[in-house]
Amino acid sequence: MEEKGLEQHGGNIARADINGLFKEILANPQAFGLTNTVGMACPPGVSASACSSAMPGFNASQDYLFADHLHPGPQVHTIIAQ
């Protein structure tokens, strides 16, 4: 429905299969430059929105799948953007 309205104005919606991408990453994390698929870059109890690299306990490594219990880490955001 929203796609038809968008098409009328010359726009489109690109749907990304993020779930499929996560399955691919979990099947072969090293191929994506990741080594940690269970830990979190942010300190325990700190959400990605409140997390910063200056925070004590932050792991600045780019090899984490997750930033917190729910959100992808910086490296994964780069992968998604590609």
| Residue 52 falls inside a structural domain | yes
| Residue 40 falls inside a structural domain | yes
| Residue 74 falls inside a structural domain | yes
Domain count along the chain: 1
Burial class (CB in 10 A: 0-12, 13-18, 19+), 25: buried
Query: Taking a C-beta distance cutoff of 8 angstroms, is the pair 69, 77 a contact?
Result: no
Query: Taking a C-beta distance cutoff of 8 angstroms, is the pair 10, 61 a contact?
Result: no
For 51-63, the pLDDT digits (tens) are 887 878 877 777 8
For 11-25, the pLDDT digits (tens) are 777 889 999 999 999
| Residue 11 falls inside a structural domain | no
d(CA 40, CA 29): 15
Domain region containing 35:
16-81
| Residue 5 falls inside a structural domain | no
